[in-house]
Structure 1
């Protein structure tokens, strides 16, 4: 850790401690201790106190999981039954000590992975707690509300349109609703990726924050485009195809190659991501979309049944609609001008 930050990033990206479980177990807590976070952040001592009062000693918890995890994936990454119980305790204590969290799909996977490399559940809780409480500018780790998560999904869609145009076109041509596909981007990584790939992602995530997740998901999207044909996707469930592809990623690309491609994406800055997230948050708030909606009606798609145009087909309109920034596609299109009704002069 005494090395310069750029050198540490290079070592993590190249997997220099990938072969040592003990190495990660020593390194992860030290990396997380360097995360800038709020002054009052619950630590291992607070966890032991709260867990002792909530669960007793050493009874197994029968408490329900926090409401903010409803509908979120709950991977356990080969934890033993004792480990799964510890994971549940950690998540319940997070819910008790961070009441402001209302939605956080990444949290269970992150806690499960960190538990593999923690001395005990208290240390794992402290690590998760510091990542939640991070206050570094433009460098968050975990989305903690539905609004933040949905803005991240829209931001990924914007980045895919810019950095993966061929893959984006493939998705737009195969899915009725592009944003619905991109709303699952985080699950491609966790729990989608195999354990060996997931911990390599975690190596760089702890050093570089959420930006890393966007990079790797974009690299997966690029690889998906190279591994499938448009004809092969016709009539298939594109979301299921992507999830199956990610589960079997080892058949297509090594983890080293995947990371190399992810960090080879040019003109990709933390500031760009932050600005997109803020713009997308604003658009969602203007639509009143700030809490989980059981039926995501805000995911606008072209209505294939009622669409009518003498210029483009519904499929072509769907593709055109996928080109515009996600925050604008939240609003239904309004016909302002038609040559059949208004002629060919825009000045009349």
Structure 2
């Protein structure tokens, strides 16, 4: 073990040595080579770590390990070999293929394979348990085999534990993405998700080539999974994998862990914050003495809400400060048991702190410290204990597994409670940080456009994925030059990998979208048989705010959600004669048949409103550039204007026409009221005759229903008539306008419940709104949804219709 530690220590020599990630800026070259550009701007400073020498070899550590075992009744220490496995005889020990001097596991590390004279469990036995789906046997097998960090089994064991049906597919995907980055000559400084606070950055002694490969790997992960925004332990886990396998296999393993949601790696800021409170709650339940000591140190009057700050950086305890040999064994168990194992380790490290520091004298000035200073002091003590780790590896794992009744259901319940409790505050703090964060620095000149200015272009380029921010869009299609045919459009655009679309209406509205995938994917028959949509979460839609003169960008809703897997992922769809960007509740941009008209609706995929107020559009111009720039002109002659609140405004500008409509309303209401009274009177007379005459008068069920129906209709018409009459005189009064708004909503709902006759009797101007809104006037034919909410604004020349739901798609 000492030889292995010496090998690790020689990687960078000094524990406190600081180096840049990859030392220099990464340049992707053809053939996959990497060029160092030392004269370019350097990325942020990261600690490149080496393992610590454990105190376990000393007598103090040995005594503490024995004391802990005695207090927890763990029994004697296991031998290095696992001699109590009854099934070991069924599996032959494979002959070693290690050279006499030892060879490194990968080219990214100095860690060498060494011969082991002691017999351990082998891969055949592990694969046997996995094949039979004996999860408990796999757990025991991994827990009880203390393979050294240099054991040759480590070339394959993590691959086997992470293997699934998509493993080889993900390996090929990594190569394809890397080839795409290499071919495009993309230059980037660092993956975006590494810029957030709380990310654990530690490569555990990778060589310089390993550090550069690690950064390149993370860029590919960000490219494939753009929704991944906050995974604090992703960096060190990838670094650990690179010690024992290649980057393509590391990518496949990471994809498998990420696909399990929060089962292995917490993937949202809210989940990470809540995990600190979950850790404290579990400590209070399973290690009460440790909790009491921690609370007495910081203050008995301190709430658990504040006390949980001790665990804010618990991920760094394991993946940054824990010595390398210990972390390797923790990784063994983690790849089988998931996040639950990490919580076991956290509680065990807190317990070791309790045994190591619990009886030590506190500094003289400790009582005068503030609560935050006491929390920092306790946290630093725990980190120091973790770094020194005064117990053996097997004892640490035995402490972890000795926690009884440690149920996943309890962890999940506590985690959900704390996430719900703190979600609003964390999301608010995150939005404030994003609001205050400076704009990204552009390293290339913005593209020229006759539709938008350079400032808007720079903002759009700044919103591209980081690997494309140095790319300048190039024109490939323009409607005025290439025509209105979709065939011509696809011939020009299919060669592009990404596209930027810019749209301008004849009334000056500017909007568009960034599409992260190639439009040629519409021809993938196999994938389109599963879903018509394609693209990734890097896509976004936008519109230009005329007051600010800047684009308002709506990115995928999953990027701001704690559960991105539940958000719609309908980014792009296309066929021979249609194009759709964003869907779910409505299409953000939809063009059909020819490049002459389109539609825009509120979209759930991007949580965006309608990108243009007028609809439909009539196309005037199209431009495509790859990243592809596309500009369009649309026009409409409709008098119905759809605003961003999903309402339709009917503008009437002629006073004479307004008076005629009002007079027509009064006449129509008078006629319908008279008809209703006649029907009611006839029914009432017949019913009265039946009651007062000794001669039976026949009356059927339909006539009785007509009687009650007419009464309800009369009441509705009287109220409607009163509202319409008063509207002529009082609608310019804001207070009375509000009264009209409140009155007309329930009246309209009553009409909606009275059947088709209500729609016929309703005022003609409302019928025009229905027809325009549902397609007759706009050329859009869909089955109408009759439940709509009406309102009359205080302005006499505007009527509004507010739908309960999104517009029909």
Fold equivalence (TM over 0.5): yes
Q: Residues 292 and 239 of structure 1: is their aligned pair in 2 closer, same or farther, counting only changes over 3 Å?
A: farther
Structure with greater strand percent:
2
Residues 219-241 of structure 1 show CA distances to partners (whole Å, capped at 9, x for unaligned) of 11111101013653452611111
Q: Within the alignment, does 1:11 sit opposite 2:149 as a pair? A: no
> Does 2:346 align with 1:217?
yes
Aligned mate of 1:123, from 241, 246, 249: 249
Structure 2 match to 1:290: 427
Deviations 1:112-159 (A, max 9, x none): 1111111x2111111111100126xxx710111101111212111110
**2:146/2:329 contact within 8 Å kept:** no
Q: What aligned pairs does 1:160-239 form with structure 2 within 5 A after superposition?
A: 160-175=283-298, 177-229=306-358, 232-234=361-363, 235=366, 237-239=377-379
1:254 aligns with 2:392: yes
Residue from 382, 388, 408 that aligns with 1:270: 408
Q: For the residues of structure 2 that align with 1:201 and 1:7, how far apart are their CA atoms?
A: 17
- 1:172 deviates by 2.0
Alignment of 1:41-56 (within 5 A): 43-56=170-183
TM-score, length basis structure 2: 0.33
Query: Which range is displaced more, 170-179 or 157-166?
Result: 170-179
Gaps of 5+ in 2: 1-126, 300-305, 367-373, 434-809
Question: Within 1, Cα distance between the matches of 2:206 and 2:252?
Answer: 19
Distance 2:325 2:264 in 1: 21
1:143 — aligned with what?
A: 266
- Mapped to 1, the partners of 2:346 and 2:383 lie a distance apart of 12
Q: 1:22: how far off?
A: 2.6
Residues 257, 294 of structure 1: CA spacing in aligned structure 2 closer, same or farther, 3 A cutoff? farther
> CA contact under 8 A between 2:175 and 2:248: conserved in structure 1?
yes
Structure 1 distance, partners of 2:186, 2:226, is 23
* Cα distance per residue 1:308-331 (max 9 Å; x no partner): xxxxxxxxxxxxxxxxxxxxxxxx
Aligned to 2:217: 90
Q: What SS does structure 1 have at the residue aligned with 2:426?
A: coil
Number of residues paired by the alignment?
A: 285
- Report which stretch shifted further, 59-68 or 189-198: 59-68
| Structure 2 match to 1:64 | 190
Shift of 1:272: 0.9
Would you say 1:102 and 2:229 are equivalent positions?
yes
* Change beyond 3 A, Cα 1:155–1:41: farther
Relative to its length, the structure with more helix (as a share) is 1
Larger deviation, residues 74-83 vs 4-13: 4-13
Distance 1:223 1:114, change over 3 A: same
1:290 to partner: Cα distance:
3.1
Instruction: Name which one, 1 or 2, has greater alpha-carbon Rg.
Output: 2
- How far is the alpha carbon of 1:105 from its aligned partner? 0.8
Shift in Å, 1:5:
2.3
Q: Cα distance, 1:41 vs. partner?
A: 11
1:200-233 per-position Cα deviation (integer Å, ceiling 9, x unaligned): 0000000111100111111111111010136534
**CA distance, structure 2, for counterparts of residue 229 and residue 130 of structure 1:** 40
User: How many angstroms apart in 2 are the aligned matches of 1:41 and 1:290?
Assistant: 37
Compared with structure 1, are the counterparts of its residues 130 and 31 closer, same or farther at alpha carbon in structure 2 (3 Å cutoff)? Answer: same
TM-score, normalised to structure 1, is 0.75
**2:581 alignment partner in structure 1:** none
* Aligned counterparts of 2:277 and 2:168: Cα–Cα separation in 1: 30
Structure 2 residue aligned with 1:306: none
Q: How large is the Cα RMSD of the aligned pairs?
A: 2.7
